[in-house]
Amino acid sequence: MGEDSVAHSPIDVTRLAALDAAQAARVLREVRDATLSGQPARLAPRPVIEQSWERMLRSGVDPDHDFRAGLLVRDEVERRRQTSQLRHVLPVLREGLLTVADVAHHIMVVADAEGRVLWREGSASVLRKADGFGFELGADWREGVVGTNGVGTPLVARRPVQVFSAEHFVRTHHSWTCTGAPITDPRDGALIGVVDVSGPLDTLHPATLALVGSVAKLAEAHLRELHLTSLEGLRAVAAPVLARIGGRALAVDQDGWTAAVTGMPYTGRLALPKALAPGRSWLPTLGLCVVEPLPGGWLLRAADEPGPRRAARIVLDLAHPRRSSVTVSSEAGSWCHELSPRHAELLYLLAVRPAGRSASGLADDLFDDPGRTVTVRAEMSRVRRYLGAFLEHRPYRFCEAAEVELVLPEDPRDLLPHSTAPAVRRARKPGPPCTAPGPDASPDRPNMPPARGKERISGPSSGVLDQARGSLT
């Protein structure tokens, strides 16, 4: 897409809604055709749509022909329903959206984190129209399969997205409008799915975006309430056990959230190995401990013996657009933690700058505002809950003894696609070979390496930063 195609201001959806549907569709069709062909356009596509179109062009999605992946069989749909956290929020979604959807001739669609449609409800006539272009139970509506849409695009962008008519990348979807919002698990920030409201193009209303986003937040609040209730139940079981224990101990649920503690300061959450089992184990913050099962969780008793304080290896995996994780391995074992979008940004910024970043430097990287240090310190405090043994501060950095491996997308433009942080956006742009900061570079705003492949960093004093930066070009 050439620079000429974005010479004008982006489309205003509120003003677009004031047009009749046919006229609005023509405007968007002109914008799409001009933008995809690299020609000047009277209006620019909205940034979230243009970024999605760029991803589709890079991945080879055909803009003129519909493609449909195979449907999941009914048994697999049912299995996913029963194992998904989404089943707990269906009443909230129905109460907030179905009545409005019926009146507006829409349908409500709920898909999992892989973009597979698990539930569809609403207007019978609209459901039949949806069948016509494969918007069915078990269908795969990821961006990389069917192009820009109200299911797949929010999963990548990690925010509510409205897609109207020719904003859909694939031409066969231009008679449709859809609005989707991601739903995350409040326990760990993991993406669990998306709720979408869709219908014929003449049903566009800009307020739908705010409505769907608000209902998605209500669904997340409901999941948070369920989690707190489960912790209360675990606390009731663990309290008499902990009362009989001398020394440091705590009870946590299956995800590491603390229900009760004795003999030590309260810690909100511990990072647990994926395959935690009864016996002796080494855990971040707690160290070497004895693990015993409890109904709905674990009893962890500190062994009060020396354990490994430093990680042998830390792998920060940012190669996947919808899932980022950090894996820590040492002689005592290994564990993996799925990262929230913000924590993925922070750890990426620390990984590419082994010498470290001050709070103001990270605030500048994230928000283009060095003054937002309170927000940065609060987030880094949360990161230290699971990486505390392997992070230093003043400035923030990985500990010197840790080997850090950074796994990045093959295409730098696919780095953390949900991120709007200025430093991440700069890293997505291919450019000339990066070098160490020159004499004119501010120590808090050094050159950012482009994102590509793998980077291995052994510590701030190792002198490998320049080599890593050069290998990423």
- Taking every pair of Cα atoms in the chain, the longest distance, rounded to a whole number of angstroms, is 75
Exposure of 73 by Cβ count < 10 A (0-12 exposed, 13-18 middle, 19+ buried)? exposed
- State the Cα–Cα distance between residues 45 and 270, nearest whole angstrom: 44
- State the Cα–Cα distance between residues 78 and 169, nearest whole angstrom: 30
CB of 115 closer than 8 Å to CB of 152:
yes
CB of 357 closer than 8 Å to CB of 350:
yes
Backbone angles phi, psi at 84, to 5 degrees: -95, 140
- State the Cα–Cα distance between residues 76 and 114, nearest whole angstrom: 13
pLDDT at 336: 80
- State the Cα–Cα distance between residues 43 and 30, nearest whole angstrom: 9
CB of 118 closer than 8 Å to CB of 110:
yes
Residues in the chain: 473
- State the Cα–Cα distance between residues 282 and 6, nearest whole angstrom: 54
Residue identified by tokens 């996913």 is 80
- State the Cα–Cα distance between residues 254 and 6, nearest whole angstrom: 49
pLDDT at 434: 40
Backbone angles phi, psi at 162, to 5 degrees: -110, 130
**The tokens of 272 are what?**
């647990």
pTM: 0.73
pLDDT at 36: 86
- For 428, how many CA atoms within 13 A lie in the half-sphere containing its CB? 19
pLDDT at 17: 63
Exposure of 105 by Cβ count < 10 A (0-12 exposed, 13-18 middle, 19+ buried)? middle
Give the number of other CB atoms < 10 A from CB of residue 229: 9
Cα distances (angstroms) measured from residue 181 to each of 63, 206, 215, 254: 23, 14, 9, 27
- State the Cα–Cα distance between residues 91 and 222, nearest whole angstrom: 10
**The tokens of 244 are what?**
């009989």
Distance of CA 434 to the CA centre of its chain: 28
pLDDT at 13: 65
Exposure of 65 by Cβ count < 10 A (0-12 exposed, 13-18 middle, 19+ buried)? exposed
Torsion-angle region of residue 17: left (phi > 0), alpha (psi -120 to 50) or beta? alpha
What kind and span of H or E run contains 249?
strand 249-253
CB of 391 closer than 8 Å to CB of 398:
yes
**The tokens of 285 are what?**
């913050």
**The tokens of 25 are what?**
């569709």
- pLDDT tens, the chain, 473 aa long: 544 433 456 777 666 666 677 788 888 888 898 888 888 878 888 999 999 999 999 988 999 887 777 899 999 999 999 999 999 999 999 999 988 877 778 999 999 999 999 999 998 899 999 998 889 999 999 999 999 999 999 999 999 999 999 999 999 999 999 999 999 999 888 899 999 999 998 777 778 899 999 999 999 999 999 999 999 999 999 998 898 888 899 999 999 999 999 998 888 888 888 778 888 888 877 778 899 988 889 999 988 655 444 446 899 999 988 789 998 886 656 778 889 899 999 999 999 998 999 999 999 999 999 999 999 999 998 888 778 768 888 899 998 878 899 999 988 999 999 899 999 999 988 655 443 343 334 444 545 555 545 555 543 333 333 333 433 33
